[in-house]
Amino acid sequence: MRLTRVAACRSLVGCLFALSLAAPALAQPRPATVLELAAQQKNLTTFVQAVHTAGLDDMLKGAGPITVYAPSDEAFAKLPAAERDSLLSSPDRLRALLLGHLVKDMVKMRDGDSAVTSGSVENAAGRELAFGTDDRDRTTVAGAHLLATDLRADNGCVNVIDRVLI
């Protein structure tokens, strides 16, 4: 009986030690802003650069809530090179384009087992952003597929999409 208690204590100590190593990673604070959150994503460098060029930093750092549908780097790369270069060097055009990717409200794309599959919301450019599904029941936003959903920051959330909404 005594040997079993010793083994149990060792197991418990080992588990507690493992948890103490994992705790800092689990307790990482949520990013304060959607801009900070986007900047932490390896596949959103072009989007973050575009936000800076367009002068939308303050909007994405604001109190919120704000929902961002951020095109991945690959989505920007799909644009013809001349169009992409022209767009990324024009703050006014870029601002108009990026406002179409922002919603001045919290839109949770997934909630437990349910997901947004229809409807629309007004984006920051004043146009409707429609939700739907494709022929494989994948959720779409204005025809773009979601690559990552509901990445949370204190002032809103970021959803990564597979194409630029032009």
pLDDT along the chain (166 residues), means of 10: 51 53 58 92 96 95 93 96 92 96 93 83 95 91 95 95 94
Radius of gyration of the chain measured on its C-alpha atoms: 21
Beta-ladder partners of 110 = 115
| CATH 2.30.180.10 correct for 30-108+146-161 | yes
pLDDT of res. 30: 72
Pairing state of beta strands 66-71 and 156-161?
A: parallel
Residue 157 three-state SS: strand
pLDDT of res. 79: 95
Tokens of 85: 């270069």
Q: Tell me the backbone φ, ψ of residue 66, rounded to 5 degrees.
A: -140, 140
The H or E element spanning position 88 is helix 81-88
Rounded to whole angstroms, the Cα distance separating 101 from 15 reads: 45
Rounded to whole angstroms, the Cα distance separating 127 from 109 reads: 19
The residue among 141, 129, 157 whose CA lies nearest residue 41 is: 157
pLDDT of res. 10: 56
Predicted structure pTM score: 0.81
Q: What is the largest CA-CA distance in the chain?
A: 76
